[in-house]
Structure 1
């Protein structure tokens, strides 16, 4: 007999073993996190390439991606507030679906994404600086120099962006918004482009829907507010509201930024360029645009890299304490108290694609779209978590309940599966994108199965009791 109706979630201030952080984060701070971990060079590039492929018609997949983002925001809000001391997606999923989906979800949504997306960020930074200052720096020296620097800083426990990341992220949003508005306001100086945009606003017709997977990359990452639930004031209100407002701000900013580029750069150039944001900035601002872009690129890449090298190793550290990954990830440096093995691991998997594929400019798009597959898979598992926990614990206290359940989750799952199917914007890229993502996720799945069966000695799909999962936090 299921006795889940006897259990109710503890208050957010409860402390099973240690003192909890004092709630200090308001809506503004949480909104900065929801926005900040989305803005990156990868987003700047993919959104402009999408606008180049589809023209103004790119607003259609962008709007659909926004709807899909709303579905994952609803599911994460319900999970985070129902299990308020859970630190990551693995904590929700082991209770809902079992150990194998928990490990796969965390590696797919965060470790594999770090491997692909951070590599793309470093390659973009290297290419931008070498485009602006040709011949000054050896090939890939910038990429590996930045990676080594932030690996060392995280090993030493030094977070150079600790006080600035939220501010920098908001500045980046303002900069992108300003670019879009400035381009649209001055579009009269390029009448031929204005005429081309208005005369054929959706050249792809119904095929524009295949760009939803590319567009959704602009909205992933808002759920990084969820681990801050215990440090938040009024989390029942502020956690969902911060994520919803965050993706609204991102939608408006991305739409204006992408449309503005169409008034200054021909669609064909945006679609074909590995560095469309370079074309955009220089067409709009001239030589000043180059310096502007270098500063923006350094800020975006360093902030994203620093955040990931701080967050992902700590996810692995927590999973090691749960017995879900190698115990070496629990090791902390004696002097700096940092998970040094996990930091080195994340740094290594970030640097490997840079070394293997750094000579090919097309690699950036492939890496970002392969990362999109991995992240969408994690979001699908998140939706399944909500459905499973509604069935297993129907009377559990839920401070936030997803509107229109289960339609919200079903729409999210269906939309994300379709997005994965159409993830490639061109037939030529399809095999490579699915090859990269499939090989890495297949290896992760194989290792997870062997680990759960031989080391943890547990069933792959037996959910853990909710009470014991909370007690471990």
Structure 2
């Protein structure tokens, strides 16, 4: 597959260093990657539902999620520039706290997230097309059709979005900003004063429970880290791209939510499964429906394609490092695609769609957020451990006010995990779904490390393995 910033996760198990790699990516390209996860219907839905539940008070969990995002941006920046390889999470964790956390973090942060989040994206796409074009197709036809299409394309090693990913990320941010600005100035918009600043946060401290929901809008900025070897002035541009990226996202989502509160009754935002449909229709009428369908198709296809291109290559890299089943190393003789890994990712994406249905969208998205938060907590621990074990190692970027961002990040993310559900009835289902999958992953990882790799679970690898892999 041609190297492109649309697939920043190639070999998260540590791809070999490419000597003389061209430093082609500047701040603009890295920023497009950092905000790329905004290209998601899940973000568009969850943010509006949060605003519907809390009103203007949603700015509190949104602000906390932004601070937590800055904390992980600091940690990833320090690690990526201290171990400047095209690896990422697994590379950092195996030299900090051992093989088991490395495998768990990588699966939790990417494979398990794909299982839940991509399923939710497909369900949302099926739902929105069924809403705009009722009775056009049987239920789930769009979801499974799109999954089958992009599975085949990736088996053929065809990436139809390779040259468009940065543009798509920008377009989706522009769509959210357009909705927000248009709503604020709309002739039918409620006056901002009507949102009642006096009672702006009716939930009180209870609004903090929405932090896990809010953080879904900020995950993924670390996708720039595996591009460190191809970046110009990485010591400056890697941290800046993540920090600017999550800041742009914070402003964009805040305006998007404010516009929705001015155009759509708060109760409808909270209870409707497609609040972005209500918002777009209220602002632009039937034209808004067309805009939303186009954005939904683009967002879901782009996200699904990127994941089916990147995650199988991550699994292939882990298999080459002995951290995953050897079958994931198999490549198609004709196309070079990691066909076993592609089929595996497609299967785990389709399984929740098949078994859970449209009523499980929120459950899937919040479960994905929990899995991603677990990976971020491990990253914060990596920074603290490596600071203690290798205090004199060169660090082109050092976390400001260390260790406060790491401590705040760990505590805040644990709080968000504990209060993951916006409604008590979902709590058990969310923890059960995420817990069962992560439990299975953990069991397999323990057996694999002990019986196949024959290594201890929590003994760190030598730092030389990460810094100079070709010489170890």
| CA distance in 1: counterparts of 2:278 and 2:192, whole angstroms | 14
| CA distance in 1: counterparts of 2:104 and 2:17, whole angstroms | 28
Residues 386 and 132 (structure 1), Cα distance of their counterparts in 2 relative to 1, 3 Å cut: same
Residues 18 and 269 (structure 1), Cα distance of their counterparts in 2 relative to 1, 3 Å cut: closer
TM-score (norm 2): 0.94
Question: Offset of 1:285 from its aligned partner?
Answer: 1.1
Instruction: Give runs of aligned pairs for residues 419-430 of structure 1, distance below 5 A.
Output: 419-430=416-427
| CA distance in 1: counterparts of 2:110 and 2:16, whole angstroms | 27
Question: Offset of 1:19 from its aligned partner?
Answer: 3.2
Question: Offset of 1:201 from its aligned partner?
Answer: 1.8
Q: Once the two structures are superposed, what CA deviation does each residue of 1:380-415 show, in whole Å capped at 9, x if it has no partner?
A: 000000011111111111111111111110000000
Instruction: Give runs of aligned pairs for residues 378-397 of structure 1, distance below 5 A.
Output: 378-397=375-394
Question: Offset of 1:190 from its aligned partner?
Answer: 4.1
SS of the residue 1:263 aligns to: helix
| CA distance in 2: counterparts of 1:410 and 1:190, whole angstroms | 42
Matched-pair contact (CA < 8 Å) for 1:197–1:263: no
| CA distance in 2: counterparts of 1:16 and 1:123, whole angstroms | 37
| CA distance in 1: counterparts of 2:405 and 2:16, whole angstroms | 33
Residues 23 and 447 (structure 1), Cα distance of their counterparts in 2 relative to 1, 3 Å cut: same
Question: Offset of 1:192 from its aligned partner?
Answer: 8.1
| CA distance in 1: counterparts of 2:410 and 2:86, whole angstroms | 23
Question: Offset of 1:56 from its aligned partner?
Answer: 0.6
Matched-pair contact (CA < 8 Å) for 1:20–1:230: no
Residues 191 and 468 (structure 1), Cα distance of their counterparts in 2 relative to 1, 3 Å cut: closer
The runs of 5 or more residues in structure 2 that have no matched partner are 1-14
Partner residue, 1:469: 466
Matched-pair contact (CA < 8 Å) for 2:17–2:86: no
Partner residue, 2:308: 309
Partner residue, 2:72: 72
Partner residue, 1:208: 207
Partner residue, 1:142: 142
Q: 2:455 aligns with which of 455, 458, 463?
A: 458
Partner residue, 1:449: 446
| CA distance in 1: counterparts of 2:317 and 2:363, whole angstroms | 30
The runs of 5 or more residues in structure 1 that have no matched partner are 1-14
Q: Once the two structures are superposed, what CA deviation does each residue of 1:305-335 show, in whole Å capped at 9, x if it has no partner?
A: 1111111111111111110010111111111
Partner residue, 1:418: 415
| CA distance in 2: counterparts of 1:467 and 1:255, whole angstroms | 44
| Segment drifting more, 80-89 vs 363-372 | 80-89
Residues 328 and 20 (structure 1), Cα distance of their counterparts in 2 relative to 1, 3 Å cut: farther
| Segment drifting more, 312-321 vs 104-113 | 312-321
Matched-pair contact (CA < 8 Å) for 1:45–1:277: yes
Partner residue, 1:432: 429
Q: Once the two structures are superposed, what CA deviation does each residue of 1:223-263 show, in whole Å capped at 9, x if it has no partner?
A: 00000001100000000000100001000000000110001
Partner residue, 1:252: 251
Instruction: Give runs of aligned pairs for residues 79-94 of structure 1, distance below 5 A.
Output: 79-94=79-94
Aligned residues: 456
Matched-pair contact (CA < 8 Å) for 2:112–2:368: yes
The answer to whether 1:266 aligns with 2:237 is no
Partner residue, 1:341: 340
